[in-house]
Amino acid sequence: MTTLFFLLSSDILVPIIAIIAVFGVGGFIVLKIIQLIRDAILSRRAPAQSDALIRKLQEFEMRHEQLVKRVQNIETIIVDADLGNPEPGDKPGEEDDRPLKNKLR
């Protein structure tokens, strides 16, 4: 019994661990390939997913356009503040003590 433990602990232990690791990694890769094949088959059967994808893309485009408009508004506020141009409701000759960040709200 002690000789078996001695053999397992010194010479055979490394190859056994290597074999287990190789089978583990190989099994993981095979499972991922099977999942990819299954997902490809399911995606061909489900046309409703493509409709949902188109709707999500349209929502993304709308949000992108809104973001672009917001950024342009912020840029104009900053440029006006840098040039010293008053806001449309300000009276000429009055100094605005509000910091720029309050103007961006």
pLDDT value for 48: 63
Same structural domain, 32 and 64: no
Contact of 72 with 99, CB cutoff 8 Å = no
For residue 29, what are the domain limits? 1-45
Q: Taking the complete model, does pTM exceed 0.75, yes or no?
A: no
pLDDT above 90 as % of the chain = 35
90 φ/ψ angles, rounded to the nearest 5 degrees: -75, 150
More confident: 24 or 82: 24
The answer to whether residues 79 and 67 belong to one domain is yes
Overall residue count recorded for the chain in this entry:
105
Read off the pLDDT of residues 18-68 as tens digits, 9 standing for 90 and up: 899 999 999 999 999 999 999 888 877 766 667 778 889 999 999 999 999
Residues 68 and 98 in one domain: yes
Asked if 5 and 32 sit in the same domain, the reply is: yes
